[in-house]
Every structure is written in C-alpha cells, then in structure tokens.
Structure 1
Amino acid sequence: MRRFSFLAGALALLLAPPVTAPLDVAAVDAVVARTLQAFDVPGIAVVVVKDGQVVVAKGYGVSSLATKAPVDANTLFEIGSCTKAFTAAALGLLVDEGKLRWDDKVTDYIPEFRMYDPYVTAEFTVRDLLCHRSGLDRGTANLTFSPDSTDFTVQDVIHSLRYFKPVSSFRSEYVYDNCLYLVAGEVVARIAGQPWTSFVETRLLRPLGMRRSAAGFARLPAPTNVSDAHGLVEGRVQVVARDRSPLTSAAGGLYS
C-alpha cells in the first residue's frame, strides 16, 4: 500500500512548478516517463490543476500488461494507502458532529478491543489509531488478513491484536501499520450505525462529486476502465489477482 502513496507523493513533488511559471506540458510528459521507468509501473493517470482549472488530464502507459489497454484520464486505480486519509476524514466528520472526540478511548466504542499490554489498552485513543505509534512491529498485524484467501473478519483482527507483542514503547516511535486503520474503520461503523464503506461513499465521495469512486472494487458503479492489479512475480512486474476482500477497505481499498 505504501508504494502507491510514495509514488503519488513523489510525482506530485516533481510536477509542482513555481507559482508564476507557465505549465510546460512536454516537461510533464518527460517527468512521467522517468517516473514510469524509475518505479517500474505499467501506467499512470495525471491531472494538473492550476488556479482551480484542470490544465492537464491524461494517461500514460497501460492499465494492464496483459491486455495492453491504455491508461487515460478516466482510468480508475485502487489508491492503496491514500484511502487512510478518507478514514481519518470520516472520523473527523464524526468529531465535528460531536459524536466522537479524538482523545476518546477506543474501548469506549469497541469494548472488546485489547492490546498486548493492559495499560496500552486502557490508554489507547482514537487519535492513536491513526498515528502509527502503537508499538506494533511493521507488518506484524498484516498476518491477520494475508493472504487474500483468508476468511478473517474485522472482529477476528480486533481479537488478534492482544497477542502481538510490541517492539517499541507505546507512543515512542513511528512504525507504519495497516491493522489499526481497520479498527478505525470499525469505530466509524459503530458510531455511524453503518459500514465504513457506505459512510465514506455517502458522506465523502458523493458530496465531493466523486461519482465514479467507490470504497472497494465490488462497489464500483461501472467497473470498466479499471487498472489491473500488478505485482512483482519472479522479479518481473506482472498482472496479479485483484484483492477483492472487503476486510482491508479502511486501510487501502478505495478506488478512484
């Protein structure tokens, strides 16, 4: 999930022109060509907005190494860990509505939530779910939902957290984590009385006019012109099976 986020951030930095400089579309093309090569990805869709106006909207490369279908400005991608911003925004809406406070304890909303250390369990806040400072090792909790063929539920993930011994003290170190964003999504669901998927779509995507975006592949209104999933197989980027599990939606399942 982080690969997409890093790629998007790097591309945004590379494309950012001085405020007063006119946009050189050929320069954008050159930057994207280098980015495709540097990150070894099949395709990218790029939009550049200046003064509220779209000045570039185009695709580069292909959306599938199998079909060779070209990427265009409307190609949809699974946006990976950029989804986490939507989960945080969903919690922010609930905070604004007075239904939640950032420093509320997670156990206020999920009484069965347990971490390895009882002290951490008692002190763990909604804010902590988003900050990657729980003390869990990077990727440890991913074992609860990998591979895609597992039938684990969010409740299974929440139950499993109590067995993962931390590798650093609580709130002392940044260590990236996906699992606690699943818990954050469950907090949204329990407060809102509806799944994270429908809350994000009705309260964020639709009001923003993101009509072709959805909180999961199966929820796309028109699942056409969607990039295939790709990954490294025996050292080469190839088309791989799409992750269709709704379990990880709040951490990285949004399509846009």
Structure 2
Amino acid sequence: MKLKFFVVLIASSLLTEGLAFNAETELIIDELIENYFMRYNRIPGLGVSVVRNGTVLMSKGYGMKNVTAGLPSDGNTLFAIGSITKSFVAILVVRTLNELYPDRGSAILDIPLAELIPDTVNFTLSDRYRAEHTTFRDILTHRTCLSNGGVHLILGSLPSASEYAYRSRYLPEICEFRNGFEYNNHMLSLAGETIAAIAGTTLQDLVTDFANELGMENTTYVDFDGSYESSPDMSQPYVLRDDVLVEFDIFQIRKVHMALGAGGILSTANDMAKYMNFHLNLGLVDGRQIVPANVMNWLYTVGYPFDFRGGRTDEIGSIVYGDLGTAQGLFSTLYDGWNIIHHGGYWPPYHCDMRLFQATRIGVFICANGPGVIFNFPTHEITAYSIFELIRGSTKSIEQILSSKVNLGKPFVEHQFAYGHRTNRAPTVLHHKQIRTTVEPEDVLGVYGHPYDGDVTIRYDPETNNTALQVFFSDWAYGRLEQVPGFNTTFSIEWQTSFNDHFYSYPFPIPSFWVDFGVVDTALFRGGEFDLYDEFEYVKNATLDTFPPIPWPPTSCGPETLHH
C-alpha cells in the first residue's frame, strides 16, 4: 500500500508542478532514498547529488557517516567512488593528448602507445603484436582482451603503482585483441600511469590539479600512508557481519593505492555535482573551457559495441534498457529511448553510481558507505532512473520503474566485480612437477612468485614461537596455516588480519582459502565456496628478477601465452 501511495504522490506532484524542482519534489526524493533505497538495502550513510542545466538541484547526505559517533552524512562527506575514477583517467588522457598533439584530433586515441610514450618508460605487453599496436582507445574501452588479473587487488600484494603497471606485461590473453570485452582494472591503472609519464608528472598530481580546476575542494585519492583517514569528512565504511552492521576496517581501503587509475579517488556529493556539470557542460566550468567541447565528445564515442538486444521490464514492456557499449572510461546505455553515459564504482564496501542524461543535461550521483555491493531492489540504477523521471517531469515511467523488481544494474554487476573471476593457470617459470606426499616446514619456507599477482612468503609464525607456518601476502592479508585433516599437503588459512571484511561486503558466503604444497617448489593458493575465486599458482624463488622483462622472443609476431 505504501508503494502505491508513493507512486500516486509522485504522479500528483508532477501533474501540478511539471518540470519545476521545489521543496516538495525534494521531499519525494527524500522518501524514495530513505524509505526505499536505504531501508531495503540497510545502507548506513549516503551522498546524493542531482544537477540539471548547470544548476545543482540538490546535494546532500543521508544517514550516518559514522554510526558509532553519531555523525550524520552531508554534502562534504568523503566516499570511495571506486571505478568512477576510470572516467577521470579518461579525461586526463584525452586532455593531455590534445594538448600535446593538437593537430591529430581524436585519431590520437588510435596511435599505438609505443609511439607516444617516452623512452624512459619500459612499456610492453604479453605478446609483441599487442605491445606494438595497443592504443589508449583499446585500453579505455576494455578491448585489449587481456586478463583482469587475479587476486592482487584483494590481497594488496603489489607494493606500488609502478610495479602494478610493470606487471601488466604478464597478463595473459582472454580473447582475441579488439575482438572481445574484458573489464580490466589493471589496464586502466596502466593508462593513468602512462599518461602521467607522457605529461612528465605523476597521476596523483594530475588528479589533484584537475580536481582543483573544477573546484572539487575535498576530492583526493587513497594513499599508502592513509593521511585521508584523518579527515573529519571521511565516512566510516560498514559491512553486515552475521546480519549486524559493523565497522569495516578502514585500513583495508588502502590496498587500492597501487591502482589509483582503476579506482582510488575519494569524493563527495558536492564535488561530484561539479564533476557532473563539467561533463554535461562539455568541459565548461564557470565560463572557462577546461577541456575543449570537441575533445569532451571523444569520451562518449563507443569504442567497443556490445551485442545489444535490449531488455524490458517484466511487468510493463515499454522500457527498453541495456548497455550499448564501452566509451572512453565510461559505459553508453539506452534507457527508454534516452542515451545515458555512466559508470559505477565499487571498492568494498563503498558502492556508488554516476549517470549522465546528456540530452536533458541531468546528472545523478549516489554513493553509499556500506554495507557492500547492492543487488536488492531498488538498486542504485533504479533509484537514479526514478530521480531522473521526477526531474524531467514524466508521469509514465516512474510507476513502471518502482513497481518492477527488474534489476537494471545486472550489466554493471557483470562488468565490475571481476576480481579473480577468470583465472589462467599457465606456469610462471619452468619447474619439474615433482609430487610431494608430506610437508616438512623447512622444505616450504621461502618466497614464491606469480607474474601478475605478486609475491607471497611462507615463513614461521612469530606468534607461535616459530612452531607454525604463516602465509604472508601483504600487510593487509596474512594468516596462520593449519593443516587440513586427512590432507598431508593442504593447509587452511586462519587470517590474522581483517582480510575477511572484504568478503562481508558481498551477498555470498565467506570463502575459505587454502595453500597446497602438493607440487614441489609450488604453493597453490585456492579460494572456494563461490565462483569469484579459483586457483593461483605461485612458484618458489620466482620473482620479478626471474621473469623475462620482455615476455616474448625477438622473433615473435604474437600473440602468445606466457610460458617461461
């Protein structure tokens, strides 16, 4: 009954107010967000901004940025915006390339990186053809068809952005170059580091300078030292543990420092309102053309089209929706005849969404500080479309959206949550497959390496006076090894950090993890219980020093799979 009453309330308001945005319209949006989106998804705190025609219609916080301290969210509350960061990287790419090569036009996006990067940058990819032909458009539209990597982001197992970029050369092929879509955090991080090198600066400085130009006063990035944590505006993230809302260890947020270009920006509702207006005004900010309008349009051109057949609501078949393809650091989507440019962001447990309705110059940004990925009705997407219908004055599609339980966000889920969801078991170095039947601790101690997931150390656990083994991936992820009964070479991991907090942000069972030493000089890392994880093979004494700097022979014309 409440939903029906709410729909009638919206319709009656629109009949009387038309396109006007007033206090009553904002109250209806408040009702939608607080009593539906937040309540049904148990969201502790939220930042929301809505813009139209260059005007900020609303920018505010809902709920709490810190439940324990009783601190409410507001327009200046900081959230991790996750993969929305990729759209920032795309802007930095097109802007820098246009400034350096003003006569090339958008064709500069199709010039191989190998021809653009300075000689000081050691750039290559897993086969010679890709190394010589990959362009910024290939990377920004996710069509390199290289693996998204394995578990390095979850484990925090790479120490720096430079090493993360370097290891992109070992990512194996998933599909034919430019003939498939593989959402790739690793490649977007590489794009950020590469454009910074071309500009002769750092990605951190590029992001900071760009945010300052837009007047995004509170926007910053996640850094290793965690200085952002001291900001009074930083929201405390939360997860549901045993169905109870609890604080997420904010220390874990810092893992993304190695992949700033993929998802490391922190921002606020107020700042994201400025960012959306920057897009909708085609680069114009307070009378200044920060990026030329024609260059802004480079961003929105689909570089990899999907096999679009559309989707319809279950109950009312007139709303056709679905992703048309990938633009530069963005997605292009059709919704009820409107072309939408958008990107979501998920860095656990923050979940965000930005939608730009270009034809009507309406933008909607929504970002939550927990409890993790939101699948339940109404999703970010449904909520954003509901707000869009309110703002543009429609009386038809609101009821269709609110009465339908279709999860319009499903394509986003498939694209975003790909950490480790595809694995490749190509050996990291040549080694003999000698089978081990029992494990003596001194036989397995040492450093084990993986070409793109980093290094892992098997050592004695100091907390047990060196009587038990410990696996160490990073400061964020290490744990004691406990032998699994009935399995002589398999050990379960009892995490000694808050690593499992990451998984409480998913609506799936918490996975168990094991290390198997069944093959001599190999540590096989296994994750189970749900489909996001598989097996990752680490080889003893295989580190960056032992991997070939160029992972293909001089006579190669590629593509090839890494077998060294």
Match of 1:124 among 107, 129, 134: 134
The equivalent residue for 1:95 is 97
Contact 1:129 1:180 in 2 (8 A): yes
CA 1:237–1:142 in structure 2 vs 1: closer, same or farther (change >3 Å)?
Answer: farther
Deviation at 1:184, TM superposition (A): 0.7
Structure 1 segment 216-227 matched on structure 2, within 5 A: 216=222, 218=226, 223-227=231-235
CA 1:236–1:89 in structure 2 vs 1: closer, same or farther (change >3 Å)?
Answer: farther
Partner Cα distance (1:152, 1:187) in 2: 18
The equivalent residue for 1:135 is 145
For residues 41-81 of structure 1, the C-alpha deviation after alignment (integer angstroms, 9 at most, x for no partner) is 32111223344333323211111344342111221111111
Q: TM-score, normalised by structure 1?
A: 0.79
Partner Cα distance (2:167, 2:247) in 1: 31
Structure 2 residue 47 is matched with structure 1 residue 45: yes
CA 1:142–1:248 in structure 2 vs 1: closer, same or farther (change >3 Å)?
Answer: farther
Contact 1:77 1:255 in 2 (8 A): yes
CA 1:232–1:83 in structure 2 vs 1: closer, same or farther (change >3 Å)?
Answer: farther
The equivalent residue for 1:208 is 214
Contact 1:214 1:254 in 2 (8 A): yes
Contact 1:145 1:152 in 2 (8 A): no
Partner Cα distance (1:187, 1:177) in 2: 15
Partner Cα distance (2:127, 2:158) in 1: 27
Structure 1 segment 217-256 matched on structure 2, within 5 A: 218=226, 223-231=231-239, 233=241, 238-242=246-250, 243-245=253-255, 246-256=257-267
Partner Cα distance (2:194, 2:70) in 1: 41
Q: Secondary structure at the match of 2:111?
A: coil
| Number of residue-to-residue matches in the alignment | 236
Partner Cα distance (2:91, 2:155) in 1: 28
Deviation at 1:237, TM superposition (A): 5.3
For residues 153-196 of structure 1, the C-alpha deviation after alignment (integer angstroms, 9 at most, x for no partner) is 23322333333322211112222111111111111221121110
CA 1:43–1:236 in structure 2 vs 1: closer, same or farther (change >3 Å)?
Answer: same
Contact 1:135 1:173 in 2 (8 A): yes
Deviation at 1:127, TM superposition (A): 1.4
Amino acid at match of 2:128: P
**When you count helix as a share of all residues, which structure comes out higher?**
1
Give % identity.
26
Q: Secondary structure at the match of 1:60?
A: strand
RMSD: 2.8
Partner Cα distance (1:172, 1:159) in 2: 24
Q: TM-score, normalised by structure 2?
A: 0.38
The equivalent residue for 2:154 is 146
Structure 1 segment 31-180 matched on structure 2, within 5 A: 31-33=32-34, 34-99=36-101, 101-108=108-115, 109=117, 112-137=122-147, 140-148=148-156, 150-180=157-187
CA 1:201–1:159 in structure 2 vs 1: closer, same or farther (change >3 Å)?
Answer: closer
Contact 1:144 1:157 in 2 (8 A): no
The equivalent residue for 2:190 is 183
Deviation at 1:247, TM superposition (A): 1.2
Partner Cα distance (1:53, 1:32) in 2: 21
Contact 2:165 2:193 in 1 (8 A): no
Partner Cα distance (2:51, 2:194) in 1: 34
**When you count strand as a share of all residues, which structure comes out higher?**
2
Deviation at 1:233, TM superposition (A): 4.6
Q: Secondary structure at the match of 1:255?
A: strand
Q: Secondary structure at the match of 1:26?
A: helix
Amino acid at match of 1:58: K
Amino acid at match of 2:95: L
Partner Cα distance (2:150, 2:166) in 1: 13
Contact 2:49 2:59 in 1 (8 A): yes
The equivalent residue for 2:477 is none
Deviation at 1:239, TM superposition (A): 2.5
Contact 1:65 1:238 in 2 (8 A): no
Q: Secondary structure at the match of 1:171?
A: coil
Contact 2:146 2:174 in 1 (8 A): yes
For residues 197-243 of structure 1, the C-alpha deviation after alignment (integer angstroms, 9 at most, x for no partner) is 111211x1111111111133656597112112334556665422332
Higher relative contact order, structure no. (Cα contacts within 8 Å, ≥ 6 residues apart): 1
CA 1:231–1:141 in structure 2 vs 1: closer, same or farther (change >3 Å)?
Answer: farther
Amino acid at match of 1:120: R
Partner Cα distance (1:164, 1:194) in 2: 26
The equivalent residue for 2:536 is none
Partner Cα distance (1:38, 1:131) in 2: 34
Deviation at 1:40, TM superposition (A): 4.0
Query: Where does structure 2 lack aligned partners over 5 or more consecutive residues?
Result: 1-13, 103-107, 268-564
Query: Which structure is larger by alpha-carbon Rg, 1 or 2?
Result: 2
The equivalent residue for 1:6 is none
Amino acid at match of 1:212: N
Q: Secondary structure at the match of 2:90?
A: helix
The equivalent residue for 1:9 is none
Partner Cα distance (1:201, 1:251) in 2: 16
Partner Cα distance (1:214, 1:249) in 2: 11
Match of 1:21 among 19, 22, 39: 19
Contact 1:99 1:191 in 2 (8 A): no
Contact 1:59 1:70 in 2 (8 A): yes
Larger mean CA deviation between 79-88 and 169-178 belongs to 169-178
